[in-house]
Structure 1
Amino acid sequence: AAVSHELNQPLAAMKTYLAGARLLMQRNRLEEALSSFGRIDDLIERMGAITRQLKSYARKGQQQFSPFDMGEALASALSMMEPQLRQRQVQINRILPAAPVQVMGDRMRIEQVLVNLLRNAIDATKSERNPKVDIILSAGETATLTVRDNGPGIEDLDALFEPFYTTKQPGDGVGLGLAISSGIVTDLGGRLTARNGQNGGAVFEMQLPIMDSAENSTGGGIENGSGNEDRNR
């Protein structure tokens, strides 16, 4: 079920891009069609990376961590969600710092978390006339990314991160996304929390250990389980 859940998003995006490419070719707009095929190629590569991640999940102690920019990971996740955002006409408001926000971890898994959070926010705003999602990235003692929607909010906060908990209709999801996301963030030394906003809607907040300038200058990757004290200072 977890494998199906993680692969469903890129598969859905591929289907949308393929339909668009077919239409563009019929209209002899070949350059634009090639661009869509390029997106599909990127998604195929991502699916391969996801299957490798899931295959090695039992060997978490051997995973390779490397520095990456949270802003770039967010841009990648938004690109994957582009078909749904365009179809639903969701207004996305991004507030990002001028400087990169560097963290040490597994970028692919963090992108999975971001896609899950964005997908949940989009689903939560289905009944809203003007769906809106705010994304705020900030850097302080931790790297903090907040996703806030203008949907109805969260009914059961206590059960939200439990496996198979879902408020969706049968066939729309099995309730693994947030449970998987919480586990990923915890594995990377961070935490994922949720609350209802003061003015309505749901607010999800992901905090990850931030890299300082000294750590960033060393470069390279580290094995999961080593160097945690340095990263969490």
Structure 2
Amino acid sequence: RMASFTTYASVRDQVNAVLALEIMGFAILLAGAFYLLNRKTAVRMALFQRESAELRDLNARLQREIAERERMQQTLAVAEQSLAQSSKLAVLGEMSAAVSHELNQPLAAMKTYLAGARLLLQRNRPDEALTAFHRIDGLIERMGAITRQLKSYASKGAEQLAPVDLAEALTSALSMMEPQLRERQVRINRVLPEGPVTVMGDRVRIEQVMVNLIRNAFDAVKSVASPEIDIILARGETAVLTVRDNGDGIEDLDALFEPFYTTKQPGEGVGLGLAISSGIVTDLGGRLTARNATGGGAVFEMQLPVLAEETRAAE
């Protein structure tokens, strides 16, 4: 039997070498994992930054488009107001000759009454002269009413909506068209309800629509031997104003409310009246429709929401 005794130094060196190799391998694995994780995070960060930049660009484009659309809408609103004002001024120009004739009549009568009053005063008859002065005062009131209607029609209208009695507005619109209707001897048949028909709107613009409808009906019966216009105002779930003529009717109903569409001769119209009127009625929450009547002629209907009784009472 042989026994051999040695030290642990060589074994310890071997064990330390193995441990060092294991620690080195583990460190290399940790470093590789950290590198891969860091690389993945960097890639995600780059993608996030690119997506953020794309979102910022998209947001900027959307903001520019929104601003451009708002600017276009403002421009369109201004253009519509300008067209509406131009249409009213065009109607006023066409009515100027008839209105001048309407004003000349009371002016001539005033001249006659003044001459008579002068003679009565010279003959020491002041009571009879005072009667002539009262008649002159009535003629002045009539002329003032005509000029006030023209002034209110030429104005741009109120921005705030208020209760409007359609019967009163219709009376005002007919008085503006009275000289032309009397000159052509057009028969007007009016059917009105007993009570008021009140809607929420702008009276100036509502009268503008009424004048346009009556004027179109007047133009439609120019070639008719017995011109006749029916105007019916009714109150139900909605307020309905119907204007019917006995003319030749409408050929193209689809394009009737399109801007610059007209069946009139050159110089008689530019085709904006019905387009503007339709826009006004739509802005007030209603609608404007047209159709051909069964017995001939055209029928236009303006429908507006009726103002509730409790709302009028509160106001």
Query: What range describes the TM-score normalised by the shorter chain of this pair?
Result: 0.7 to 0.9
Aligned to 1:9: 91
Aligned to 2:143: 37
Contact between 1:18 and 1:37, CA under 8 Å: does it hold in 2?
A: no
Aligned to 1:185: 281
Aligned to 1:228: none
Contact between 1:17 and 1:36, CA under 8 Å: does it hold in 2?
A: no
Contact between 1:145 and 1:206, CA under 8 Å: does it hold in 2?
A: yes
Q: CA deviation at 1:46?
A: 1.6
SS in 2 for 1:155: coil
Q: Match for 1:73 among 144, 169, 176? A: 169
Number of residue pairs matched by the alignment: 209
Q: CA deviation at 1:37?
A: 3.0
Gaps of 5+ in 1: 57-62, 220-233
TM-score of the aligned structures, taking structure 1 as reference length: 0.83
Change over 3 Å in CA distance of 1:115–1:47 after alignment to 2: closer
Aligned to 1:159: 255
The aligned amino acid for 1:69 is D
Q: CA deviation at 1:184?
A: 0.2
Change over 3 Å in CA distance of 1:33–1:164 after alignment to 2: same
Change over 3 Å in CA distance of 1:66–1:154 after alignment to 2: same
1:123 and 2:123 correspond: no
Change over 3 Å in CA distance of 1:3–1:135 after alignment to 2: same
Structure 2: distance between partners of 1:87 and 1:148: 20
1:97 and 2:193 correspond: yes
SS in 2 for 1:64: coil
Contact between 1:163 and 1:179, CA under 8 Å: does it hold in 2?
A: yes
Structure 2: distance between partners of 1:218 and 1:192: 29
Q: CA deviation at 1:47?
A: 4.4
Percent of aligned pairs with the same amino acid: 58
The aligned amino acid for 2:144 is G
Structure 2: distance between partners of 1:20 and 1:71: 23
Aligned to 1:223: none
User: RCO (CA 8 Å, sep 6+): is it higher in 1 or 2?
Assistant: 1
**CA RMSD for the aligned pairs?**
2.0
The aligned amino acid for 1:66 is A
Q: Match for 1:174 among 257, 260, 270? A: 270
The aligned amino acid for 2:288 is L
1:19 and 2:125 correspond: no
Gaps of 5+ in 2: 1-82, 114-135
SS in 2 for 1:81: helix
The aligned amino acid for 1:112 is Q
The aligned amino acid for 2:99 is Y
Q: CA deviation at 1:40?
A: 4.1
Contact between 1:21 and 1:33, CA under 8 Å: does it hold in 2?
A: no
Higher helix share: 2
Larger Rg: 2
Contact between 1:193 and 1:204, CA under 8 Å: does it hold in 2?
A: yes
1:88 and 2:194 correspond: no
